[in-house]
Amino acid sequence: MIVVNRLVSVIIPHFNGILFLKETLQSVLNQDYSHLEIIVVDDHSDESQLNEFWNLNIIWPDIKLFKRPNNLPKGANSCRNFGFLMSSGEYINFIDSDDLILKEKISKQIKFFRDNRHLDVVVCKTFNFHGASSNIISSWQKENFYIDSDYLSLYLSNRALWCTNSALIRRSCFEKISFLEGQLYANEWLLFTRMMVNGYKIGGLNDYFVLRRTHSNSLGRISSSKKLKYFIEARLFIHESISNSLMESKEVYLNFLIHDLNSFLKSSAKYGLWVLFNSTLKKIKISWFLRIRALFIFLILFLLKKGDTFKVIK
């Protein structure tokens, strides 16, 4: 395939997963697009893992290896942002250290950028797999991407999500909107939603070029109750941004966010997380009557674990 010769920086955060990391790196090195800069940032792995990490340069001397600076908060977001500062590519692809990309991913996305020069981000579709890469268990997307799709609606409605691995991002875009350090969950959702709310243009390929691994150590396996705070904070942040904007279809977007918030509030009630439940209501402008009604909904959900049809926020 003939593509524009643009440098692409592939940035990979790593923590205590050296065996998966080697598979990930091999999938990047197998790309049919050769003009790559590969950067891996370790998030202070255990000493035994760290020794193997530095030894990666013996196998692949061209890969740039870094350790997260001590002054940055722990977490993949800090590693990604630091890796970006160390990069020089015109395009950026963040990849998780346990996932894989197929060999045509970057070349096809670069070509799509060349054919659609107004775009800031090009995404593709993702399969989930477990164990061997051939063991596909599910797809992330319910709908296809089109050049004129409303990508914000697709994303907020969960009809066509994309993961961090799938996105090829113009450098100029990420220079203005980066990952929020310290945000443990909903970080990629927040990144891409902020980009779209701020007017950056996204286009999508309907090819499956990303394989997302599921395993017992995945963040996605951690209990939902620990994630709720971050999920709610992300939705509230975007709700405020859209409410204060002049966007077309803003009411449609706000309704998607309210739908998510209702779902998370009902879950927090079932877990008995009153402080989270109440603080969320205070940040949404609803009447005192609806707040009192919400208290009864909380009690019903907490005590009876029933009432999923309730709308806490109307």
- Domain extents for the chain? 8-220, 223-304
Pairing, β 121-129 against β 136-139:
antiparallel
- Asked whether the beta carbons of 94 and 165 are under 8 A apart, the reply is yes
Residue with tokens 């977490």: 75
Confidence of residue 182 (pLDDT cuts 50, 70, 90): confident
Flag whether pLDDT at 106 surpasses 80. Answer: yes
Pairing, β 202-213 against β 100-101:
antiparallel
Q: Rounded mean pLDDT of 182-202?
A: 92
The set of residues, in sequence order, having a beta carbon less than 8 Å from that of 167 and lying 6+ positions away, is: 93, 94, 121, 122, 123, 192
Q: How many CB atoms lie within 10 A of CB 214?
A: 16
- Asked whether the beta carbons of 39 and 11 are under 8 A apart, the reply is yes
pLDDT in tens, 45-88: 999 899 999 999 999 999 999 999 999 999 999 999 999 999 99
pLDDT at residue 172 in the model: 94
Q: What percent of the chain lies above the pLDDT cut of 70? A: 96
Rg (CA), the chain: 21
Confidence of residue 307 (pLDDT cuts 50, 70, 90): confident
Q: What percent of the chain lies above the pLDDT cut of 90? A: 80
Flag whether pLDDT at 221 surpasses 60. Answer: no
- Asked whether the beta carbons of 287 and 252 are under 8 A apart, the reply is no
pLDDT at residue 217 in the model: 53
Beta strands (DSSP E) in 253-313 are none
Confidence of residue 2 (pLDDT cuts 50, 70, 90): very low
- Asked whether the beta carbons of 75 and 41 are under 8 A apart, the reply is no
Counting every residue written for the chain, the total comes to 314
Q: Model pTM?
A: 0.91
Amino acid type, 167: A
- Asked whether the beta carbons of 71 and 49 are under 8 A apart, the reply is no
Instruction: Give me the sign of the Cα torsion angle 302, 308, 311, 313.
Output: positive
CATH class of 8-220: alpha beta
Q: Indicate the helix (H) or strand (E) that contains 93.
A: strand 91-94
How far is the C-alpha of 34 from the C-alpha of 30, rounded, in Å?
9
Q: Rounded mean pLDDT of 108-127?
A: 96
Residue with tokens 């929020």: 180
Confidence of residue 219 (pLDDT cuts 50, 70, 90): very low
pLDDT in tens, 127-174: 988 887 778 788 888 899 999 999 999 999 999 889 999 999 999 999
